[in-house]
Each structure stands twice: as structure tokens, then as C-alpha cells.
Chains A and B, each alone.
Chain A
Amino acid sequence: MNELVGVAAAAAISWLNFVVIDTWMGLPEKPGVRGADYIGRDIEKRGGDLAGGFFQGNLVCSPDASAGTLLGAIGCYLMGVPEGGLVAALLVFIGNRLCADPGYAGTLGALSITVIIALASLAGMSPGLFVAGMVIAITTIQGVSHSRSSRLLGAIARRMDRYTDLK
């Protein structure tokens, strides 16, 4: 039971970590690659929000803060804090460059989750909880209802002044 509560808390923290960093780095503003544009407009066609659609398209097409959060957690779980997080940040950066992306969101996500895991370990949360938590967090965005999650992401983008100008 304790582990379930830990996973739920880790999922909420991971969700906030990657959504805030990705929105702040401008993922909802424009599709970084052509494929992201296709996915964003498809989500809009199915009743979603365009900015939220671009956000989700960018997540699929390039390792952003979501990937950074997962791989940072995996690195900390298997290699220790903080060296595992730093190795993960490097691997995410390489992945970003392969996808023709500047690569700052993913690297920043990996570094920030490393700091969060270091702080959470003081409260007795193990890095393994964050590995499963991040999978739950991404499922709430991409695995339940794309139109609803994109509208939520669009509302967050509007609040953070990162809403898309594209039509």
C-alpha cells in the first residue's frame, strides 16, 4: 500500500516536472519538426486543442523533458544519484541532436528530475518509484483521451504565455 502511494506521488511530481519544463521551453508554440505538425493538427481535428496537439506531437517526435524525466529516473535508479542522471542527460542530448532538435528541454528535464530525486530520497522515496510514476504520468497525457489532455495542455500553455500563434 505504501508503495502505491509513493508511485502516485512520484507520478504527480514527474507530471509537473515535464509539463512545466516542456511548456516553458515552448513545445506548445510551434511544431519542431514536420511530423509534430501532422500529429498536432490531427488531434485538433479530433476535437482537441492545437497548442496541446503540438505539445503531444513534439513529445512523440523528439526526446523532450518527458524522455529526460524517464531516463533521468532510470539512470538514478540503476547508476545512483547524481551520476546516473548526468549520464541520462548526455544520452537524451545525443537523442535530441539525432532528431534535429536543439535539445535543451530533454537535458533540462533529466537534470531537474535528478535534483528532485535527490531531494525525494531524503523523504524516503526511492528512484524506482519515479520510473513507474513517469510511465503513469505519460499515460495520462497520451494514453487516455488526446482531445481532453490537449485542451488541458493548451490551457496551461495559455497561462504560461506559450500559446501557439499558428492557425
Chain B
Amino acid sequence: MLIQITGIIVVLMAVRTLLAQDRAERLLYLNAMSFGISAMIALYVGTAFGAVLAAVYFVASTITSNAIAHTLDRVGEEMVIED
């Protein structure tokens, strides 16, 4: 039951990420999705090692989001060169 609830949320967030137009908006949906995946890992694996896996997955995904948001901030206005 618990894993189904988190699974539905993960799928919902994945669909919203695909449909979102704005890049920062996508990062927020992806973060909510990471929460769900981390919870699913813990609920599915069900051993002490599962808790370590979930924590490592979550911390790593946060570091990735941090790097992406930092890069987006630095890029600012992009220049698109057309052929």
C-alpha cells in the first residue's frame, strides 16, 4: 500500500516534469520525484542497507540539483545561434 502511494506520486511528478515548460519548474518537480524514489528504494529493499542506499541516492540527487541550478543561474541569458 505504502509503495503504491509513493509510486503513483513518482509517476505523477515524472509526467509533470515532462510537461513543464520552465527549467526551474522542472527542477522542483524532479526534487519531489527524488523524494518518492528514495522512499520507494527504502520500502522495496527493506533492509538496513536499503536505508543507506536511499540516503546516498537522495544526497547525490540533491548535489546534482544544486549543480544544475547553479549553472542555470550563471548561464543567464542564452544566445542561440541559428544556422
Contact = CB atoms under 8 A, between A and B. Distances in A.
Contacts of B42: 74, 77-78, 131
Nearest to B27: A60
Nearest to B60: A95
Interface of B: 1-2, 5-6, 9, 12-13, 16, 22, 24-25, 27-29, 31-32, 35-36, 38-39, 42-43, 45-48, 50-52, 54-56, 58-59, 62-63, 65-74
B26 to A, nearest CB: 11
21 contacts: A57-B69, A60-B31, A61-B62, A63-B62, A67-B58, A74-B38, A74-B39, A78-B42, A79-B48, A88-B51, A88-B55, A99-B66, A128-B2, A134-B39, A135-B5, A135-B32, A135-B36, A136-B5, A139-B13, A142-B31, A143-B29
B49 to A, nearest CB: 8
Interface of A: 3-4, 7, 33-39, 42-43, 46, 56-57, 59-63, 66-67, 70-71, 74-75, 77-79, 84, 87-88, 91-92, 94-95, 98-99, 128-129, 131-132, 134-136, 138-139, 141-143, 146
Contacts, number: 161
Nearest to A80: B48
Given A74-B42, A84-B51, A94 B22 contact: no
